[in-house]
Structure 1
Amino acid sequence: MVYCGKPSRGCQMCRTRRIKCDETKPTCNQCTKSRRQCPGYKDEFDLVFRNETKATERRAKKATKKAAAAAAATATTTTAQRVMGSAGQEPISPASSSVGGGDELSPTFKDMIKSPFELAVIPAIQIPPETRATCHFVSNFVLIPRQGGTRGFMDYLVPLMKSESANSHLQHAFNACALASLGNRTNAGGGGGSTIDFAAKAYNEYTKALSATNAALRDPEASRSDGLLAAVLLLGMFENITAKQMGDFAWGSHVEGAIQIVKARGRKQLRTKIGLMLFIAVRTQLIIHTLTSGKAPIMGVEWWMGDAVKDEMAASCQRLNLRTSELRAEVTRVMTTVARTPENVELMQCLMRRAQELDADSVEWMRRLPEHWQYKTLCWEDHVPNGDYSRAEVFPGRVDVYNDFWIASVWNMARTNRLILASITVRCAAWVCSPVDYRTTPEYATAARVCMDTITDILACVPYHLGWHVKRKHLFQNDELSGFACGDDSDTKGLAGYFLTWPLACVMGQDYATDAQRQWVQGRLKFIGDELGIKYAHILSQLQVRIPSMLIRRDGLMAQPYPMAHNFEKLLSARMAPPTAGYAMNPLQQREAMQKEDFEKRRSELLNKATGTATGSTGESVKLVAQKWLTV
């Protein structure tokens, strides 16, 4: 305590506003005139003796920070390389040793890694591109969970990178992703004058990673290691970052490879912390792969969910996702293999009821979420600048914010799951009521209402992902938002775009989305591809898929053309009959050939409609993605 001279006796409000207070009690007239709540006056003792401890502490910290910055500036390159582990010789994080021991990530990890990175950016010309790329990737994609908080994203890389050599498959895969991501962001406007060919360096590292990964797969011991599985996941991510033509299928092949590795590793991989994190990461990729391809998950739901729960709420959502993928595959199989008989109509109605029950379970999951999982409405926006939806940051309506990106991504998985369940319900209703228009059924009316509400919820979360709220901190203050391994959390993150790409593509393909919503979503996907460097978003932004109407049309194309298909003996004897005189085929074979020709023609028309006006190599890529989504 020190004496600080004659203090002001005015109220705290007037002192803050730096105006003269008339010191009228109990409230001053200045506050009354300006309709402000007067906080009152300090005690006489507090006026004379003021606690300077906190102010002194702040000054000491400021002086220490300046001294540390001056000392670190003389050895910036060495410091950055040591902390970021650019060559694989040092750990990415000084706190990573605690992770390997099974403890939660230290809250000081981010603080220890952030300051040297900021120092390294200043004389960036002296920093090797690999080091800059490492800093960029970790600060954009490695999401660190808070103490006692939810899961992170790719946080398993922190301990794994510590134990890997400079020439390992994991190191090369990491370098490929980091260089590709930084190159995409640099070319987008963060440094267009750079003479470094990041793309060439990235593909060089990618080639080395593929070679090293293939060699490891031939080694019985290395093929089941944590490092190999993490490398395969990174290779899949590289395809999404760089995708221009075949990104979707290349990503799918890496996911299928990761699934086979997980299957070979067995249940014992769940005994370690890193093994459990990798298993859940593969399960997440499996869910997206099965929902987009219409395939059922191999080994079944229980194999993927049993004893592999890190966060109970997220695991419940993923269980619903896996059950939906199984149901969707079963519905498609039934529609393409059975005839329309009373027994099969009852079977289809049973499948439709299962879809409705799963949707009710999804609603119940949302209702049971704890408080820290809930989102908050930040504000409402009604204006679109110049009426151009493709460039607007916010679609008219709500703007919601979440506690972190990972929670928001789980919410969106649940929402897209509801969109898929609605399409299953309508497809079943269309099959049952055919040839009556399915849009007259009560199932269609319910699905339309659910989908329109779900689309609104997904659009409301996009500004949060893309950093709109950061520019308006006066509207919302929260110091516990998602924390990345290094860098400034206020920047727009590549991970946000990575999480958003698939939900936005699902929204754009819905029959229930309006033209304005599609235009806005298309603009956001273009922004993710151009500004955040997730190039796969460009391919998805050009899709003209409409669900469920195109799926219903496909169901009609793939349906069994023979009303007596269940009578296999009669069908077989007709097919094996000799050709009619003067013809090369019998009547049944002629009918099959004509139907096949008509099917191919209608199939081509459906795919051309789904790809829109896309041409060239991009058009071929869009066509391949559309073909996979529609499975025709």
Structure 2
Amino acid sequence: MASRGCGTCRKRRVKCDGAQPICNRCQKAKVKCDGVQNSFLFLNENEYAVGRRKRPRGPNVKGSSIVEKQVEQQVEQPNLGKDLVIFETSSTTPVDSVVMDLDNYSILPALNVPLEDQAIAYFSRHHETPHGMPEMVQGHMRFAFAGWILSSNVSILERAVSAVAHAIFGRARQNQAALSAGMAFYAEALARTNTALRSPQDATNDDVVLSAMLLSFYENCMMDRKQALLEDNIRRLASRSFAHHDGAISLLKLRRQHSDRTSVSLQIDKLVRRQLLRTLLLRSMPVPMLLRDGAQFGEEGIALEFDRCLVIAAKLRSQNLALNLDSTKPALSDSCEKMDSIRVLLSEAQALEDTLAMWALDLPMENWYSTYATEHDGQAETKDRIFGDMAHIYPTVGHAGMWNRYRVIRLITNDIMIKVLSALSRSQGFDQHDLVKTINSRISRLYEELCLSVPYMLGLIGSRPVATDMPLMAKAPTSFKEAVTVTNASLLCWPLAMLVTATYVPKRFDKYLTDRLLDCSIIIDDGVLERIAVSTRQPRPALSAT
């Protein structure tokens, strides 16, 4: 059965949305649309199956010629002009169905393929959402794709997606024309976003909040990677790069004041909030009152329980920074009020650690992972990316991302406990040697578990072996840029960025985590993460509270 699409899209070998009289793909590419055929064409495959006819090599040339002949017989569509956009998509069409169409979207090498189509194809292929990803780790990017498909050529979201697509395509292919086009799209999207923010009604549109997140993505991508970065500028750099996220928080506040929002808008708010919470944690900032209750944004079940732990962790991390517990200087003169605050912080951190431990134990067994011995192909590149001689296998990469976010929150909590005990020891001779030893052991185990998950997430190892006693074979891909999708690598970026910027990291994990952050930053074309990874390749304080 032939695909239902216009003749132009079939000739260009791109996905057609089937809109009439002019499809959106041709409208965006500014090419003439041959129109969509009115009926399906059934090809008799039985003729080939029983041997009556010989199947031609390559693509179904005969079927394509039949379709082209039928299209030519149709009445030629009038030229309606490039400014007219016609949407035939129903308002009840599920967004997921639109996103799934992008999984098959590809462009074959050709001299006449527009630069915009090449950039969008590269972007969509590397940002596709893996199948079976747990709901609690899904992000807002899939709605950005869906909105881009349904948007007009001059919408804010269309400009923002085009800016990011051209930027990452230009960096990956070293295409200066794509980089220049991306910069022009970015400037236009930024100007349109600022204009929309002046109108309370326009500011609450889905396109505006999604564009704000994409513009932040663009700025991270285009960060100058060669510029030197000092250690004390790392936090400041991260804060500046998330300026658009601060605007997104204000947008969510405006959107929450409207009671007649669609289910898609509510879902976008939930996914954008998840990203904002991780940003606040990275910046050691508390979660604003507006964002603290995940239940109001649609979180439920195990996702809601973990969400509450994340909000508490952000508060503790902010209090740790305010109390200056990272200082290694003696604190004998600390006031009684400060010492009371430190003790309360220790109590709250211990309670959060207990809650997180119970959260993992309550997870259904289908979310758990297995540990296997590994063997590699003998190449130094493969050996360096495998931590030790063991590795984890998860149900999906999304499950690995879920576990690593959980491990990072526990590591943050235990790191705070170590700092508190160290401060108490310096100021009052508070001796809890056994407790410190237990926490250090727990921290090392969590770091090791995270490191063992990395090979699976980067596609260095395959699926589960047939026999449980068989080792996993590890082999590095020829190119990480082509073998690992941006979605998979992005699930590692936040956990690694949180850990490599921590005060205390066990020496046996430090270099491995920093090198893998550098790998992920190259895969997703994030200049900020790359500079952080390069700048943190230096000795750290020892992991101790005594």
TM-score normalised by structure 1 residue count: 0.62
Q: Is the 8 A contact 1:395 1:520 kept in 2?
A: yes
1:564-607, Cα deviation, whole Å (9 max, x unpaired): xxxxxxxxxxxxxxxxxxxxxxxxxxxxxxxxxxxxxxxxxxxx
Distance 2:533 2:66 in 1: 44
Write the mapping of 1:310-389 to structure 2, written as runs, cut at 5 A.
310=299, 312-334=301-323, 340-342=334-336, 344-377=338-371, 379-381=372-374, 385=378
Quick one: structure 1 residues 333 and 541, their matched pair in 2 at CA, closer, same or farther if it must change by over 3 Å?
A: closer
Match of 2:255 among 265, 269, 281: 265
Distance 2:492 2:429 in 1: 34
Distance 2:312 2:272 in 1: 17
Paired amino acid for 1:330: Q
Q: Is the 8 A contact 1:179 1:199 kept in 2?
A: yes
2:207 is matched with 227
Match of 1:157 among 144, 168, 171: 144
Q: Over the residues paired in the alignment, what is the CA RMSD in angstroms?
A: 4.3
How far 1:315 sits from its partner (Å)? 2.8
Whether 1:291 and 2:248 are equivalent positions in the alignment is: no
2:96 is matched with 105
Quick one: structure 1 residues 443 and 522, their matched pair in 2 at CA, closer, same or farther if it must change by over 3 Å?
A: same
1:395 is matched with 387
Paired amino acid for 2:125: S
Write the mapping of 1:461-610 to structure 2, written as runs, cut at 5 A.
461-469=453-461, 472=462, 475=465, 491-510=483-502, 513-544=505-536
Distance 1:235 1:65 in 2: 42
Quick one: structure 1 residues 249 and 150, their matched pair in 2 at CA, closer, same or farther if it must change by over 3 Å?
A: closer
How far 1:437 sits from its partner (Å)? 8.0
Quick one: structure 1 residues 147 and 322, their matched pair in 2 at CA, closer, same or farther if it must change by over 3 Å?
A: closer
Quick one: structure 1 residues 387 and 103, their matched pair in 2 at CA, closer, same or farther if it must change by over 3 Å?
A: closer
Q: Is the 8 A contact 1:426 1:438 kept in 2?
A: no
Distance 1:496 1:205 in 2: 26
Quick one: structure 1 residues 512 and 331, their matched pair in 2 at CA, closer, same or farther if it must change by over 3 Å?
A: closer
How far 1:509 sits from its partner (Å)? 4.3
Q: Is the 8 A contact 1:144 1:155 kept in 2?
A: no
1:165-220, Cα deviation, whole Å (9 max, x unpaired): 21222111101111111222224xxxxxxx65322221121111111111111122
Q: Secondary structure at the match of 1:124?
A: coil
Paired amino acid for 1:308: F
Q: Is the 8 A contact 1:144 1:152 kept in 2?
A: no
Whether 1:129 and 2:123 are equivalent positions in the alignment is: no
Distance 1:64 1:429 in 2: 72
Distance 1:161 1:473 in 2: 34
2:438 is matched with 446
Match of 2:221 among 211, 226, 241: 241
1:231-261, Cα deviation, whole Å (9 max, x unpaired): 0011111122222269634431011000010
Aligned positions, number: 457
Q: Which protein shows a greater Rg? A: 1
Distance 1:498 1:492 in 2: 10
Q: Secondary structure at the match of 2:385?
A: coil
Whether 1:281 and 2:278 are equivalent positions in the alignment is: no
1:428 is matched with 420
Bigger mean CA offset, 287-296 vs 538-547: 538-547
Distance 1:384 1:451 in 2: 31
Write the mapping of 1:37-76 to structure 2, written as runs, cut at 5 A.
66-67=59-60, 71=64
How far 1:305 sits from its partner (Å)? 1.1
Distance 1:250 1:207 in 2: 18
Match of 1:139 among 125, 133, 144: 125
Q: Is the 8 A contact 2:148 2:158 kept in 1?
A: yes
Q: Is the 8 A contact 1:88 1:161 kept in 2?
A: no
How far 1:412 sits from its partner (Å)? 1.8
Q: Is the 8 A contact 2:103 2:128 kept in 1?
A: no
Quick one: structure 1 residues 515 and 70, their matched pair in 2 at CA, closer, same or farther if it must change by over 3 Å?
A: farther
Q: Secondary structure at the match of 1:468?
A: coil
Match of 2:242 among 238, 241, 252: 252
> Which sections of structure 1, spanning at least 5 residues, go unmatched?
1-52, 79-85, 188-194, 478-488, 554-632
How far 1:506 sits from its partner (Å)? 3.2
How far 1:148 sits from its partner (Å)? 9.8
Bigger mean CA offset, 252-261 vs 460-469: 460-469
Q: Secondary structure at the match of 2:384?
A: coil
Match of 1:414 among 406, 417, 428: 406
Q: Is the 8 A contact 1:105 1:144 kept in 2?
A: no
Quick one: structure 1 residues 131 and 218, their matched pair in 2 at CA, closer, same or farther if it must change by over 3 Å?
A: same
Bigger mean CA offset, 248-257 vs 510-519: 510-519
1:184 is matched with 171
> Which sections of structure 2, spanning at least 5 residues, go unmatched?
1-45, 72-81, 228-235, 326-330, 468-480
Q: Secondary structure at the match of 1:156?
A: helix
How far 1:89 sits from its partner (Å)? 5.5
Q: Is the 8 A contact 1:89 1:162 kept in 2?
A: no
1:556 is matched with none
Quick one: structure 1 residues 385 and 333, their matched pair in 2 at CA, closer, same or farther if it must change by over 3 Å?
A: same
Quick one: structure 1 residues 543 and 148, their matched pair in 2 at CA, closer, same or farther if it must change by over 3 Å?
A: closer
Quick one: structure 1 residues 201 and 550, their matched pair in 2 at CA, closer, same or farther if it must change by over 3 Å?
A: farther
Distance 1:269 1:499 in 2: 33
Distance 1:223 1:74 in 2: 45
1:137-180, Cα deviation, whole Å (9 max, x unpaired): 12222426659977643221244224422122211110111111
TM-score normalised by structure 2 residue count: 0.71
How far 1:338 sits from its partner (Å)? 13
Distance 1:460 1:293 in 2: 26
Q: Secondary structure at the match of 2:373?
A: strand
1:298-330, Cα deviation, whole Å (9 max, x unpaired): 11664x413223553223222211111112223
How far 1:541 sits from its partner (Å)? 1.0
Match of 2:153 among 143, 159, 166: 166
Bigger mean CA offset, 522-531 vs 454-463: 522-531
Quick one: structure 1 residues 516 and 426, their matched pair in 2 at CA, closer, same or farther if it must change by over 3 Å?
A: closer
Distance 1:551 1:301 in 2: 33
1:509-538, Cα deviation, whole Å (9 max, x unpaired): 456645453333333233233344233331
Whether 1:309 and 2:298 are equivalent positions in the alignment is: yes
Q: Is the 8 A contact 2:506 2:542 kept in 1?
A: no
How far 1:350 sits from its partner (Å)? 2.4
Quick one: structure 1 residues 140 and 476, their matched pair in 2 at CA, closer, same or farther if it must change by over 3 Å?
A: farther
Match of 2:182 among 184, 202, 206: 202
- Report which of the two has the higher share of helix: 1
2:41 is matched with none
Aligned identity (percent) is 19
Distance 1:199 1:476 in 2: 47
1:341-394, Cα deviation, whole Å (9 max, x unpaired): 5565344222201101101111111111223322333x32366957678x7231
Quick one: structure 1 residues 251 and 71, their matched pair in 2 at CA, closer, same or farther if it must change by over 3 Å?
A: farther
Q: Secondary structure at the match of 1:348?
A: helix
